[in-house]
Amino acid sequence: MQKNNQNIGFYFIAIMFGLIGTMQEALPQQKYPQFGIDPLKDVIAAMTIDEKALMVTGAKRREVYPTALPGKKQKNIVAVGGYTYPFLRLGIPPIYLSDGPAGVRIAPRRSGDSQTYYATAFPVATLVASGWDTSLSREIGEAMGHEALEYGVDILLAPAMNIHRDPLGGRSFEYYSEDPLLTGKMASAYVQGIQSQGVGASIKHFAANNQETSRRYINTIVSERALREIYLEGFRIVVQEAKPWTVMSSYNKINGVYTPQSRELLVDILRKEWGFNGFVLTDWYGGDDPVEQMKAHNDLLMPGLQVWTDTIADALRNGNLSMDVIDQNIENILNVALKTGTVKDYPYTEKPDFEKSKEVARRVARESMVLLKNEQHTLPIQAGSTSIGLFGNYSYKNLPGGTGSGAVNYEHAVSVAEGLKEAGFKLDPVLEKKYTTHLDKGKPLRDKADSLITAMPPRDSILSELAWDNHEIERSAKETDMAIITIMRIFGEGGDRHVDHFNLTTEELSLIDRVSDAYHAQRKKVVVLLNVGGVVETASWKDKVDGILLTWQSGQEGGHAVADLVSGKFTPSGKLPTTFPVRYADAPSAKNFPGTPIGNPTEVVYEEDIYVGYRYYDTFRVPTSFSFGFGLSYTSFTYTNFKIEKGKGGSATLLVTVENTGRYPGKEVVQVYATAPSGKLEHPEKELKAFAKTRLLQPGERETLRFEITPRMLSSFDTGASAWVAEKGVYDLMIAVSSDTIVANGKFRLAKSQITEKVSKSLIPQVPINILRPVKP
């Protein structure tokens, strides 16, 4: 009976997709316009109402049925995250979509196939942003685009680029930074890399999706200015610079309207102001009114529900939805489809070049990890002659990334222990044996290897930190040359963190205390590695250790990258893309995150307005544990010959020479900030306006960097004028090594105020916002 039901299901689907094709064979005299050959409008005109409703709602079933055009290779549709309906009589194949913030997310196992399919787990976006190097981000994109192409994927649902608004954001590992410029530039390079391979990118989640709590219905209440300057600006940069094929709308509402149902967001801003010409798709099951989504030109509703299709078809028949509207949506989708590997019949191999991907993953990780502390040159240490007491469960097991749609089915993740041993370091064998035995008792993080989406792992899949007797720690301190402790935090889609997850546990703090006491008693050093997906508390314990290396979630080659840096084979050059506060309560959003009512919030008010991250800490003089843009090196750099040259139209050129004055080869991140003059608008203490990373400088070598600063870059959003305005007056332009450490600065005068861009009046809050204001001195 089950077999008969399966056969019936198969034939039903075959009939649904092939009926008209069969009719065409029976009536060969009847011709249909063909996608990719005939004018697109003719193809759309030949679609029935039901077919049009299917085209904009995504495929609903996962059975393997004929989707390939005659003479084309049949793809395994269960291997991807979603796809669109095929219409074979019109020559329209499905297009295939997969998640990919940190690697292509495909099903590792397939029915009737004994092979396991893997993808490379690359460093998470926050780590990539810590490199402050757009060329590295582009390389990640190229490698991921290559893997997607070889797996037959047409569009990667990446990058994720929402702002790090609050330290407890559960999905922050997928996002780049608290700053929209750094976010936009890194994501833009990533998109360019993906699309250079003939695979589309989908920037997400558009927009103001800065929390996971109540994410499907939370109403984000935010001022027009904060929305424009902080939460939309990164997206604008990517749309205009990288031209992504698609944009994914977010789950949340903005000022009362679901984003996939907001014409102001998706048409007035995205298409008219920014010039976006791809298609918009929903996050899975986003929005609550498919007809309104169609009217807002949210072109594709994913993953597809029959009720959506029926509702849209009914609206077309009764006149509640214009045929012109849905035709435009379909045209947006099919124009992108024309670019895809599926339509071009790319001969994908399902055998990507994983060796090249591994090299990229390792290099990006080591160039982006952030050295937060290095007292008395604790690092680097000599491989071959140094023995290490390696503490912490996740010194022996690498957690390469977060869970949810950012998870990747990688073959193997190199642990810190593996990386150090391969680099020639000796590990305390007693510690190693007990830790590996302890980990073997736990369950794997992925209990279902064939799952396309992995939620937060069950509690018993992450073992509590192995307890050590003081005598065992003291023995290790006597027998080894130094200690390394790894602290791990897992992050995932679908839930935000609790403040207890921000703070270290009692067991972790005890381990740091006891290991530090034992090793310092022997006049030996202690280093902490932070294998975390987001910000954690560091202020209470950082003075107890000699070194701290922030590895973030560093991808499957993370252990090798750590060894590359610890050994001094390479010099750390990462800088923080987000601020580490002293306490969670110091964060500007702490008082209103994740919203009200408590327990099941339905709205969240962004009272901190434009004062997000360093904009708040610097303006309100709130001490931090580690500031935005901070990061140490094994070598040292000096900045000389700083000058500002005034150009045409109110532009300025900044030049500065960076010299490596230390003993190690290294790269330096140069940050440019601006302080605006007092005028009509309030401004943060300073804002990032440009950045660059030097090439690898040998000791004594110099490089001169040049930055072009335009009035648009100096502009702020004037809500009353619905315009970006560069106010007249004197700007302080600064070269910095972090947001709170300026190394050179100069003045630049803008003779008169300039409206650099006039925009629509959109997304107005319907309720008053009690906005945080700085106290003027």
**Residue 45, both tokens:** 């005109």
Q: Who contacts 585 (Cβ-Cβ below 8 Å, separation ≥6)? A: none
Structure confidence at residue 10 (pLDDT) = 37
Q: How far is the C-alpha of 427 from the C-alpha of 440, rounded, in Å?
A: 19
Q: How confident is the model at residue 635 (pLDDT cuts 50, 70, 90)?
A: very high
Give helix 180-195 / helix 134-150 axis angle, nearest 10°. 40
Mean pLDDT lowest for which of 314-318, 609-613, 645-649, 656-660? 645-649
Identify whether the C-beta of residue 266 lies closer than 8 Å to the C-beta of residue 260.
Answer: yes
Inform me whether the pLDDT recorded for 21 exceeds 90: no
Residue 451 has pLDDT above 70, yes or no: no
Tokens of 634: 């094994």
How far apart, in whole angstroms, are the C-alpha atoms of residue 240 and residue 32?
Answer: 37
Phi and psi at residue 419, in whole multiples of 5°?
-65, -45
Question: What does the angle CA 146 – CA 531 – CA 139 come to, to the nearest 5 degrees?
Answer: 20
Q: Is 706 in contact with 654 (CB distance < 8 Å)? A: yes
Beta strands in 87-184 (DSSP E): 96-99, 155-157
Helix (H, G, I), strand (E, B) or coil at 611: coil
Residue type at position 90: L
Dihedral of alpha carbons 424, 425, 431, 437, sign:
negative
Question: Positive or negative CA dihedral for 143, 117, 73, 331?
Answer: negative
Is pLDDT above 80 for 759? yes
Helix orientation angle between 180-195 and 233-242, rounded to the nearest 10 degrees = 30
Find the DSSP H helices in 353-498: 354-368, 416-422, 429-440, 470-479
Whether 327 is catalytic: no
Question: Peptide bond preceding 597: is omega within 30 degrees of 0, i.e. cis?
Answer: yes
Q: What is the pLDDT, as a whole number, of residue 773?
A: 87
Q: What is the mean pLDDT of residues 604-609?
A: 98
| pLDDT at residue 74, rounded to an integer | 74
In angstroms, the CA 397 to CA 384 distance is 22
Closest by CA position to 89, among listed 33, 28, 12:
33
CA atoms within 13 A of residue 13's CA, in its CB half-sphere:
16
Task: Identify the pLDDT of residue 491.
Answer: 85
Q: Which pLDDT does position 446 carry in this prediction?
A: 42
Structure tokens at 693: 């990373």
**Cα(309)–Cα(315) distance, rounded to whole angstroms?**
10
Q: What percent of the chain stands above pLDDT 70?
A: 92
Cis, peptide link before residue 594, omega less than 30° from 0: yes
Supply 195's token pair. 């699309």
| Residue whose token pair is 């019949």 | 345
Query: Per-residue pLDDT tens for 472-502?
Result: 999 999 999 999 999 999 888 889 999 999 9
Take residue 90 and report the two structure tokens written for it: 């019109």
Sequence-ordered list of residues with C-beta below 8 angstroms from that of 720, at least 6 positions apart, any chain: none
Mean pLDDT of the chain: 92
Residue 575: CB partners within 8 Å, gap ≥ 6?
130, 132, 370, 629, 630, 631, 669, 671, 738
**What is the C-alpha to C-alpha distance for residues 578 and 167, in angstroms, rounded to an integer?**
9
pLDDT in tens, 532-548: 999 999 999 999 999 99
Residue-level pLDDT at 72: 78
Instruction: Confirm if 158 and 137 have CB atoms less than 8 A apart.
Output: no
pLDDT at 24: 40
Q: Which helix (H) or strand (E) holds 531?
A: strand 525-532
The answer, yes or no, to whether the previous bond of 303 is cis (omega within 30 of 0) is: yes
Is the pLDDT at 583 greater than 70, yes or no?
A: yes
Please tell me whether residue 333 adopts helix, strand or coil conformation: helix
Find out whether 593 and 168 touch, Cβ atoms under 8 Å.
yes
CA triplet 518, 528, 180: central angle to 5 degrees? Answer: 160
Residue 419 CA to residue 301 CA, distance in Å, equals 44
- Give alpha helix (H) positions in 151-276: 180-195, 224-226, 233-242, 263
For the chain, the distance separating the N- and C-terminal CA atoms, rounded to the nearest angstrom, is 80
Residue 150 pLDDT class (50, 70, 90 cuts): very high
Specify the higher pLDDT residue, 406 or 348: 348
| Separation of alpha carbons 644 and 415, rounded Å | 47
Q: For the chain, state the CA radius of gyration.
A: 27
pLDDT tens-digit series, residues 171-213: 999 999 999 999 999 999 999 999 999 999 999 999 999 999 9
> What is 366-626's CATH superfamily?
Glycoside hydrolase family 3 C-terminal domain (3.40.50.1700)
Q: Give the pLDDT confidence score for residue 30 in this predicted structure.
A: 65
CATH, domain 637-758, list 2.60.40.10, 3.40.1190.20, 2.40.30.210, 1.10.10.60: 2.60.40.10
Q: H-helix or E-strand containing 203?
A: strand 200-206
Parse the chain into domains and list their residue ranges.
Answer: 1-31, 48-337, 366-626, 637-758
pLDDT of residue 494: 86
- Per residue in 654-678, pLDDT (tens digit) is 999 999 999 999 999 999 999 999 9
What amino acid is encoded at 423 in this protein?
A
Please name which of 734, 719, 738 lies closest in space to residue 613, comparing C-alpha atoms: 738
Residue 516 pLDDT exceeds 50: yes
Q: Of the residues 133, 283, 546, 609, which is catalytic?
A: 283
Residue 20 reports pLDDT greater than 50? no
Q: What is the pLDDT of residue 458?
A: 37
**Chain CA centroid to CA 759, Å:** 27
Q: Is the peptide bond before 676 cis (omega within 30 degrees of 0)?
A: no
Question: Residue 116: CA atoms inside 13 Å, Cβ hemisphere, count?
Answer: 9
Degrees to nearest 5, angle at CA 728 with 727 and 734 = 85
- Torsion angle defined by CA atoms of residues 20, 315, 331 and 237, in that order, rounded to the nearest 10 degrees: -140
DSSP 570: S
| Kind plus residue range of the DSSP H or E element containing 702 | strand 702-709
Residue 462: predicted pLDDT: 52
Instruction: State the chain's maximal CA–CA distance in angstroms.
Output: 92
Rounded CA separation 391/254 (Å): 45
Fold of 48-337: TIM Barrel (3.20.20)
Check residue 724 and give its pLDDT.
98
Q: Which residues pair with 518 in a beta bridge?
A: none
Which among 712, 702, 692 is positioned nearest to 657, based on CA atoms?
Answer: 702
Q: Over the stretch 381-412, which tens digit does the pLDDT of each residue have?
A: 999 889 999 999 999 999 999 988 888 999 99
Q: Does the pLDDT of residue 3 top 60, yes or no?
A: no
Q: The tokens of 620 are what?
A: 């309100």
Residue recorded with tokens 């073992």:
463
- The predicted model gives 66-83 an average pLDDT of 77
Question: Is-contact 416 391, C-beta < 8 A?
Answer: no
CB 531 within 8 A of CB 558: yes
